[in-house]
Amino acid sequence: MVYRGPSFKTFHNYTLDRGYGNVQLDVEYRGKDYSTILEAGTRDAIDVFQVVGEPRTYLVLTTNTGLSYIGLVAYVREKKPGLADHTGKKGLMKEDEVFLQDDWNIEEVLGKKWKEKSDLRNAKILYQYLSY
């Protein structure tokens, strides 16, 4: 599949807290902290991207090749305070997601060699299935 969409950049200014049974994503942007609990397993590979031209949007790619699943979730930084979670940080609100499970399902969308391709390439293809 040929990607026809906006440019992506890898986002590095985040931390993951892999607690028991959940994964918390903390993003720092211009001195402000944003947080959310991801729908990801504690052993998943997690990558964060931004869409060029959409600085409030973060794309989280979750991959587990052992269990054969991959997902992409679009999160948007909250503009207003008051929706913060228990940590006192502003939140990241989930806008949309795509999730594929089982090799045949993933291969239909990403191709047979999806595990050998870059996370950025897989995220770009999955992005085309979002509608946020």
Q: What is the pLDDT of residue 80?
A: 59
Is the entire prediction scored with pTM above 0.75? yes
| pLDDT score of 81 | 54
Mean pLDDT score of the chain, rounded to an integer?
A: 87
> What pLDDT is attached to residue 84?
47
Highest mean pLDDT range out of 9-18, 78-87, 104-113?
104-113
The helix-helix angle for 119-127 and 103-110 (nearest 10°) equals: 80
Can you tell me the distance from the alpha carbon of 40 to that of 84, in angstroms, rounded to the nearest whole number?
21
Q: Which residue has the higher pLDDT, 89 or 118?
A: 118
Interior/surface letters 4-22, b for 16+ CB within 10 angstroms, e for the rest: eeeebeeeeebeeeeeeee
**pLDDT for the residue numbered 50:** 92
Integer CA distances (angstroms), 81 to 2, 12, 34, 91, in order? 40, 24, 11, 9
Q: pLDDT at position 3, please?
A: 61
User: Is residue 29 scored above 70 in pLDDT?
Assistant: yes
Phi and psi at residue 75, to the nearest 5°:
-115, 145
| DSSP H helical ranges for the chain | 103-110, 119-127
Rg (CA), the chain: 15
DSSP state of 102: S
Average pLDDT over residues 59-77: 94
Contact 127, 109 (CB under 8 A): no
pLDDT at 20: 75
pLDDT on residue 78: 81
The dihedral region occupied by 82, where left means phi > 0, alpha psi between -120 and 50, and beta the remainder, is left
Q: How confident is the model at residue 88 (pLDDT cuts 50, 70, 90)?
A: low
